[in-house]
Amino acid sequence: MPPPPDDDAPHEGTDSTPPPKPTASEVHACQFSSWYPTFRGIDPAAISHNTTHKRVRKNVTIESKIIRPLPRDFIVYLQSDGVRLPSCATRVSSCMNDADNNGDDRWDSSDEEGEADDDGSTEEQTQYSFPQLTEEIQSALTSLGGERNIGCLPKLNWSAPKDAAWMNCGSLKCTKPGDVYLLLKSSDFVGFDLEKAWEDLAAEDLDAEEQEPPSGGGGTPPEDFAHELVLRKWCNLHPSMEFRCFVHEHELVAVSQRHPSKFYAHLQPPEDGSVHPSVSIIHSFFHTYIRKRFADGNVPRYVVDLYVDSQERAWLVDFNVWAGRTDGLLFEWGELIALGEAVRNHERAEDDADEGSTPMPEMRVVTKDMKSMTYDPLSSYRGPTDAMDLMNGGNGSPGADGSIPNFEEFMQQCVRPSEM
């Protein structure tokens, strides 16, 4: 079964509380095109009552381009077996050593034609080509990257292909259409978006009367659903300043360090017991720009990834569903549910007392005494050493006949049908 739509696998801890399931409305609200317009080109008048800041920011998320809908044959291509690039794209990733390509930067379909299997038979392989999509990708790369071609990060409706970064020299940075195709084609997370996103959903809340919920569920997407390719302007984010924030009943209840296998001294709790500065920045940003603005306030529980830059400004990175398919990182889902209930009970008590203060969220980071207990959610998604050597221009290890494979030979082996 493919991994969850977020970039991480669920953390299975000792907590026996079953993780929540998302509704179709929550899944729909968390797809990129549903929330992105709300947080780019913000009308200051719409949020001026939420902040005491003199200057309201117009943009609080990274510039991106959305290509929607995607060609049906492109979806078929992504779901097909093997790893190969379409004929309209560059033949290898831009980060690889192309010294042996003799200036030929295009995939030639004749590279695969007539290739015989060990038993002498010839396997006909479908050749894919998406010239219009490739042109749109290149246009987005040019628009986002400018003259320096700084690159972009690709994703589909919900997921970025972080599990396939090893295919692109350990990075999600794309500067050519071929990079985009390679990452998407190699990713199980992308496969989840294509095949599993609308499965295992909870029933909609029938008491909610704000609007008609999407009709998706039971594995069937809503009628107006379309797959989309998102290209986000490449930014060199410092991993230590990425945070995952958990929202329950419109209140920020928990904040986790985004990368739970790393120890960062500057994230350690203040010795005087005060609130960490990052939490204060996140809390203020959430109440100013996100609370009850995400999904027009119709989705009360969700997970949001934020980044805090060197100027102490928070940036919106992504939204995920409040569900077990989203990694709780340093929290168990049972703990998150309990925190959500505690905050809701606190609000009820304050409503009775006519008080309006909101408790600060609980923050968890990797500390020195737990460093050896943390895990890397992407540790199971790594490339073979020989493959990485080939992709970086090395020769790899000798084969059974003593010959040294090159990258093109390695890729041809990837697209050959399995003998099992």
For residue 262, give both structure tokens: 């790393």
| pLDDT over 90 (residue 304) | yes
pLDDT of residue 380: 58
* 45 contacts: CB under 8 Å, gap ≥ 6: none
pLDDT of residue 51: 62
| Nearest-angstrom CA–CA distance, 317 and 294 | 13
Binned at pLDDT 50, 70 and 90, residue 391 comes out as low
pLDDT of residue 101: 47
pLDDT of residue 53: 63
DSSP E strand boundaries for 15-110: 64-67
If phi > 0 it is left, if psi is from -120 to 50 it is alpha, else beta; for residue 171 that is: beta
Binned at pLDDT 50, 70 and 90, residue 104 comes out as very low
Cβ-based burial of 209 (10 A; exposed 0-12, middle 13-18, buried ≥19) = exposed
Tens of pLDDT, residues 5-46 = 454 444 444 456 789 999 999 999 999 999 999 999 998 887
Beta strand pairing call for 302-308 and 242-248 = antiparallel
pLDDT of residue 112: 41
Q: Which residues of 374-390 are buried (b: 16+ CB within 10 A; e: fewer)?
A: beebbeebebeeebbbb
* Over residues 374-382, mean pLDDT: 63
State the CB neighbour count (10 A cutoff) for residue 266: 10
Q: Are 185 and 84 in contact (CB under 8 A)?
A: yes
Q: Is the peptide bond before 69 cis (omega within 30 degrees of 0)?
A: yes
For residue 237, give both structure tokens: 């984010």
Tens of pLDDT, residues 50-65 = 666 668 899 999 999 9
Tens of pLDDT, residues 119-168 = 544 456 788 999 999 999 999 999 999 888 899 999 999 999 999 998 88
* 255 contacts: CB under 8 Å, gap ≥ 6: 243, 244, 245, 246, 278, 279, 282, 361, 362, 363, 364
The DSSP bridge partners found for residue 217 are 220
pTM for this prediction: 0.80
* Over residues 383-409, mean pLDDT: 54
